Amino acid sequence: MDNNKLSKILTIVAAIISLIGAFFMVRIIMVGDDTLKIDEAAQNSIIGPFVGFAIFILVLVAATAIILSIAGLVKNPQNLKKTLIGVGILVALLLVTHFTASDDLATGALGEVIEIKDTSGKILTGEEAKSVTKWVSGLITFTGILGAAGLGIIGFGIVKNLVK
Q: What is the pLDDT of residues 93-106, one digit of tens each?
A: 999 999 999 878 77
- Start-end of H helices in the chain: 3-31, 33-38, 40-42, 48-75, 77-100, 126-163
Q: What is the pLDDT of residues 19-36, one digit of tens each?
A: 998 998 888 888 887 887
C-alpha distance across the termini of the chain, in Å: 40
What is the rounded distance in angstroms from the CA atom of residue 136 to the CA atom of residue 156? 30
What is the rounded distance in angstroms from the CA atom of residue 148 to the CA atom of residue 121? 34
Q: What is the pLDDT of residues 70-84, one digit of tens each?
A: 888 888 888 888 999
**CA geometry: angle 27, 29, 32, nearest 5 deg:** 110
| pLDDT, position 92 | 97
| pLDDT, position 102 | 85
Find, among 161, 156, 114, the residue nearest to 136 by Cα.
114
Mean pLDDT, residues 114-138: 84
CA 56 vs CA 10, 44, 98, 130: distances in Å: 17, 17, 34, 36
Find, among 102, 136, 93, the residue nearest to 116 by Cα.
136
pLDDT band at 1, cuts 50/70/90?
Answer: low
CA 61 vs CA 48, 49, 67: distances in Å: 20, 18, 10
Domain residue ranges of the chain, discontinuous segments joined by +: 1-75, 78-164
